[in-house]
Amino acid sequence: MFEFDLKDNNTFHKIHFIGIGGVSMSGIAELLHAHGFEITGSDREDSDSVQHLVSIGAKVAVGQKAENIEDPDLVIYTDAILPENEELIAAKKLSVPVVTRGVFLGALMRNYKYSIGVSGSHGKSTTTSMIAKILINSEVDPNILIGGKLDEIAGNVHCGKSDYLVTEACEFKGNILHYYPSMAIILNIDEDHLDYFKDINHIVSTFIGYMKNLDENSKALINGDDENCSPLLDHVKGEAITFGLKNPEVDYHIKNITFTDKGFPCFDIESDRFEKNGDSKIQRFELGILGKYNTYNSSAAIIACYETGISLDYIREHIKAYRNLHRRMEIIGDYNGTTIMTDYGHHPIEIKATLSALKPQTKGRLFCAFQPHTYSRTKLLMDDFAEAFYDADEVIVTEIYAARENFDPTVHSLDLVERLKENNVAAKYFKTFTEAQDYMESKVEKDDIVLTTGCGNPDILAKMMAGLVK
């Protein structure tokens, strides 16, 4: 097991990151810099994250080459780095540890007495940022790593001074098997990352392995409505705490959901655990964001903070004040009276939930511009994608964002367009964002909504339509 002592900046003083500009890697790099470590790194392209790291004193190269490796004590690389990457090959020739981001994050967690890891196929970033919103304004000064930008901390990382760490705990490539938090939150388990996992059983077994990592003093907060989460309960060594809407036998029962005139969910949480602490058994909460699905995300955040010792009144105030992360149903601007929004959703379930939340709030028509993410996900979840866009009046599908994958000629965005048409969903394919922009600007009218979605860079398309970039 790789070990890392955050208080010892001598053993691994100079730390090099391959893929430093990614949202998770950049956050870890900044946290280590705040603790006195010398940070170097590289990324495929320049970005705001890269420029920020440079501004605080990191040395970052644009482009990944062997010569970027300059006598580091430790090398950390992201999962997007392929084995044939020449910088990674050069690093492995050195007599220093070379570890994945997941392995390092697991070692970093063990430096904190109170570490909260947020896992699940959907909602990780939102739930993590909700917890951050609550804790950052409390007496707790947590360390926070989020897979998105939160205005409350002016970015994706907060370097606190307490013994608390709040972070996303992603299951991709089995990374959760390296994590040992004091509180593990499991929001849901769905088929995803099928370029790595064989099937849903493989995913569930990986989460079971994660549960076996937790010690007797830990807490596991698990969605009691999700059938794929149920097998995890038998493997929790510490305290298993369940929450849910459909199952009344859970420890924290979500009920009585209503909506404000703006469409924001309001709901009760009923629990004997409230009563045991001298609070009323039923507690009412109100959100300041759209989406019924956010009752699950917010409930997980509420419960996690309550189980950490934060008062209910304080939680209630700050969960209501929470606003979305950037790229989570984020309003970018407008085009001739059309509201332009962007979202990070790239899984069929996420897209369906987002469109369902937006549809009742749309006075005109709802356009969705979708950038598929990876060939493998597009191919393996094609049937689900074809069923995810019914709430959109028209769907624009752009070129597949390959990310970490090589070109696959057996799947194309046009395949999804044809499947959508078969389901009587109006759909068109455009190769470039410029073509998609031109088409949508010719079609949209006042009171319409345009949502761009995907975890590549469809936010650029939204910014183009809003006149923020050319």
Q: Where are the domains of the chain?
A: 14-99, 110-321, 330-465
Identical topology for domains 14-99 and 110-321: no
- β 252-259/265-270 pair status: antiparallel
Q: What is the CATH number of domain 110-321?
A: 3.40.1190.10
Give strand pairing partners of 465. Answer: none
**What residue has token string 């990986």?**
206
Provide the pLDDT for residue 377: 86
User: For 221-235, what is each residue's pLDDT tens digit?
Assistant: 999 999 999 999 999
Superfamily name and number for 14-99: NAD(P)-binding Rossmann-like Domain (3.40.50.720)
3 state SS of 264:
coil
Residue 322 φ then ψ, to 5°:
-65, 135
0.85 exceeded by pTM: no
Contacts made by residues 58-61, CB under 8 angstroms, sequence distance 24+: 58/20, 58/29, 58/33, 60/20, 60/21
Q: Given this model, what pLDDT does residue 357 score?
A: 82
CB count in 10 Å sphere of residue 261: 5
C-beta of residue 367 within 8 angstroms of C-beta of residue 394: yes
CATH topology of domain 330-465: Protein-Tyrosine Phosphatase; Chain A (3.90.190)
Question: Higher pLDDT residue, 315 or 261?
Answer: 315
Phi, psi for residue 33 in degrees, rounded to 5: -60, -40
Q: Which amino acid is at 344?
A: Y
Q: How far apart are CA 388 and CA 350, in angstroms?
A: 9
- Provide CB contacts within 8 A for 206, sequence distance 6+: 171, 174, 176, 177, 197
Q: How far apart are CA 144 and CA 166, in angstroms?
A: 5
Map residue 276 onto helix, strand or coil: helix
pLDDT digits (tens, 9 = 90+) for 153-212: 777 889 988 899 999 998 888 899 999 999 999 999 988 776 778 899 999 999 999 999
Q: Which two tokens stand for residue 116?
A: 């909260």
CA 130 to chain centre: 12
Q: What percent of the chain has pLDDT over 70?
A: 100
Q: What is the pLDDT of residues 40-56, one digit of tens each?
A: 999 988 988 899 999 99
**What pLDDT, on the 0 to 100 scale, is given for residue 331?**
86
Nearest residue to 400 (alpha-carbon basis) of 368, 375, 434: 375
The alpha carbon of 123 is separated from its chain's Cα centroid by a whole number of angstroms, namely 6
- At 19-37, the pLDDT tens digits run 999 888 999 999 999 999 9
Average pLDDT, the chain: 92
Distances in whole angstroms, Cα of residue 194 to Cα of each of 6, 201, 203, 463: 34, 11, 9, 31
Cα–Cα distance for residue pair 199/182, rounded to 1 Å: 28
Sign of the C-alpha dihedral computed for residues 362, 269, 347 and 28 taken in this order: positive
pLDDT score for 195: 72
Write down the pLDDT at residue 107: 95
How many Cα atoms occupy the beta-carbon half-sphere of 408 within 13 Å? 19
